[in-house]
Structure 1
Amino acid sequence: MDLDAHLFELEQELQQTATRSNATRLAQLLADDFIEFGASGNVWGSKSEVISGLQDEVFSARRITNFTVKRLTEGVALVTYRSHQDAGGASLRSSVWRVEEGQWRMVFHQGTPVAVA
């Protein structure tokens, strides 16, 4: 599988309620030094904070468009895309992924709200 397809699959997996509520799977997908700047304006400064916060999350389904991958260096990639919520919201998203022990893990994620056209 090529890198673009693989990272797209991982991003889609993180948009699934089953993954977001599965602490074991989240621990595999997120790097130990993970940080997130959420579209809500919240900052999650640790992997454990994110995993704990997602356990009781009310999550609305989303779809991804305009997905791109840019290799920053060997084993590090920047992913950008537009996220559309079924409820009508939209945001620009970016993630930094890094290979650790042969597996791609998300190191950083940011969501920026945008007006729905």
Structure 2
Amino acid sequence: MTATETLLELEDQLWRANREGDGSFYAHWLREDALAVSKYGIIDKAAAVPGIQANHSPYLRTPRTDEKVIIVDENTAVITYRVEVTVLLDGQEAQFPSYASTVWNNTSGDWRVVFHQQTAL
């Protein structure tokens, strides 16, 4: 499997874990210093993992399009794409189309998320 294929598979698994409220998956695959930026602010790993586990507003669907993978070097890569997020809010489905980017790092021998950004459209 190429680095690009591996990273796209890991990105799939991250979104699946988010939909399923699997905080333990994020606890493993986020670096300790990982950050996420969204309309909700800047979130570190310590806040992200329990938030995903609580799954208060579950993501129902997260199809991605226009994926691009940039291999910066053997230890760093960036994935960008459009994601059509469908969330369950107060019992109603809501759409949040966004652009997203994830920065991955492989200095530990396994790819880990360093940074994730979502920009709602």
TM bucket (normalised to shorter chain) is 0.7 to 0.9
Q: Secondary structure at the match of 1:9?
A: helix
2:13 pairs with 1:13: yes
CA contact (8 A) 2:19 2:58 kept: no
Give the counterpart letter for 2:36 in structure 1. E
Deviation, 1:106, is 0.4
Unpaired runs of 5+ residues, structure 2, are 87-93
- When the two structures are aligned, how many residues end up with a matched partner? 112
Q: How does 1:32-111 map to 2 (within 5 A)?
A: 32-38=32-38, 40-44=39-43, 46-57=44-55, 58-60=57-59, 61-86=61-86, 87-111=94-118
Unpaired runs of 5+ residues, structure 1, are none
Runs of 4+ in 1 over 4 A off after TM superposition: 17-20
CA contact (8 A) 1:36 1:109 kept: yes
Identity %: 29
Q: Secondary structure at the match of 2:67?
A: strand
Give the counterpart letter for 2:105 in structure 1. R
> Residues 10 and 72 (structure 1 numbering): CA distance in 2 closer, same or farther, change over 3 Å?
same
CA contact (8 A) 1:14 1:20 kept: no
CA contact (8 A) 2:14 2:25 kept: no
- TM-score between the two structures when normalised by the length of structure 1: 0.84
Relative to total residues, which structure has the larger strand share, 1 or 2? 2
Q: Secondary structure at the match of 1:70?
A: strand
2:4 pairs with 1:4: yes
Q: Name the CA distance, whole Å, in 1 between partners of 2:45 and 2:18.
A: 18
- TM-score between the two structures when normalised by the length of structure 2: 0.82
